[in-house]
C-alpha cells in the first residue's frame, strides 16, 4: 500500500490502512523509543502511546515534508512527555572528568547504528541519555531541549557534555573505541 493510500485510509479510520502504517513505521519508531526508554517494555509502551497519538492526530499532517518525519516527531514528543510525567529526565550523575573528555558530535549519529553503542547509550542516566538523543540524534538545539524538558538551557548543555564524556568512557571500557582513537577524536583528526 502506498503512503498516499495509507494516509487516506487512516484519515477515514480504515483499520487495514492503520495496520499498514503501523507495520511500515513501527520498527524504526521502536528504535527511537528504545533510545529513550529504560527497557524494551517501556519502549513498546512509548511506541503504543505514540501511535495512538498519530492515529488521533493524523488529520494534522499537512503533507509538508515526509510522513515518516512527522511520525518521528510525534514519537519523540511522546517519549519526552512520558519521561517528564515520570520525572526521569532530570537524573544526573556528577563526573569529575566530565569537562575533560569530548566525543565529536559528528561521530555520534553514524556510530549509533551499532547495537553495542546503542546499549552503551542506554547505560547513561536518563537525563544524560535524553539530552544526548535530543541534541545529537534528533537535532534539537539546547534552547528547544530546555523548553521540552522544563530545565535551564545551561543544564541541557551541561548534561550533554557529561553524557558525551560518560559515553566515551563506556565505549573505551567496552573496547568499542580505543583511548588512541579518543585522542584522534579530541584533536579532530581523521588519520
Read off the pLDDT of residues 5-30 as tens digits, 9 standing for 90 and up.
999 999 999 999 999 999 999 999 99
Rounded to an integer, what distance in angstroms lies between the CA atom of residue 144 and that of residue 142? 5
User: Which band of pLDDT confidence, cut at 50, 70 and 90, is reported for residue 180?
Assistant: low
Stated length of the chain: 191
Distances from the Cα of 142 to the Cαs of 95, 98, 103, 121, in angstroms? 21, 18, 17, 19
The CATH architecture that domain 107-187 belongs to is Orthogonal Bundle (1.10)
Q: Higher confidence at residue 84 or residue 92?
A: 84
- Average pLDDT along the chain: 80
Mean pLDDT across the stretch 54-69?
91
Q: What is the pLDDT of residues 168-178, one digit of tens each?
A: 888 888 777 77
Percentage of the chain surpassing pLDDT 90? 43
CATH classification of 3-86, choosing from 1.10.3720.10, 1.10.1740.10, 1.10.10.1150, 3.10.620.30?
A: 1.10.1740.10
Q: Which of 142, 148, 29, 31 is nearest to 84 (CA)?
A: 148
User: Which band of pLDDT confidence, cut at 50, 70 and 90, is reported for residue 90?
Assistant: very low
Q: What is the pLDDT of residues 107-137, one digit of tens each?
A: 444 444 467 777 788 888 888 989 998 998 8
Q: Higher confidence at residue 117 or residue 163?
A: 163
Distances from the Cα of 29 to the Cαs of 16, 38, 79, 169, in angstroms? 19, 16, 11, 28
Instruction: Map out the domains of the chain as residue ranges.
Output: 3-86, 107-187
Mean pLDDT across the stretch 146-170?
90
Query: And the C-alpha cell for 142?
Result: 539546547
Distances from the Cα of 56 to the Cαs of 52, 63, 95, in angstroms? 6, 16, 43
Query: And the C-alpha cell for 75?
Result: 514519537
Which contacts (CB < 8 Å, 24+ apart) does range 3-11 have?
3/67, 7/58, 7/61, 7/67, 10/55, 10/58, 11/58, 11/59
What pLDDT, on the 0 to 100 scale, is given for residue 186? 45
Amino acid at each position: 500500500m502506498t503512503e498516499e493510500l495509507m494516509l487516506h485510509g487512516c484519515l477515514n479510520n480504515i483499520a487495514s490502512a492503520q495496520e499498514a502504517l503501523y507495520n511500515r513505521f513501527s520498527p524504526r519508531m521502536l528504535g527511537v523509543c528504545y533510545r529513550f526508554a529504560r527497557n524494551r517494555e517501556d519502549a513498546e509502551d512509548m511506541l503504543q502511546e505514540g501511535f495512538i497519538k498519530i492515529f488521533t492526530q493524523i488529520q494534522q499532517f499537512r503533507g509538508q515534508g515526509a510522513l515518516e518525519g512527522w511520525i518521528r516527531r510525534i514519537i519523540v514528543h511522546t517519549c519526552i512527555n512520558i519521561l517528564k510525567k515520570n520525572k526521569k529526565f532530570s537524573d544526573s550523575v556528577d563526573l569529575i572528568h566530565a569537562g575533560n573528555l569530548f566525543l565529536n558530535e559528528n561521530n555520534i549519529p553514524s556510530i549509533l547504528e551499532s547495537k553495542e553503542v546503542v546499549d552503551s547509550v542506554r547505560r547513561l542516566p536518563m537525563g544524560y541519555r535524553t539530552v544526548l538523543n535530543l541534541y545529537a540524534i534528533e537535532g534539537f538545539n539546547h534552547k528547544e531541549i530546555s523548553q521540552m524538558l522544563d530545565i535551564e538551557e545551561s543544564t541541557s548543555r551541561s548534561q550533554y557534555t557529561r553524557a558525551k564524556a560518560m559515553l566515551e568512557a563506556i565505549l573505551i571500557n567496552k573496547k568499542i573505541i580505543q583511548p588512541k582513537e579518543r585522542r584522534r577524536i579530541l584533536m579532530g583528526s581523521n588519520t
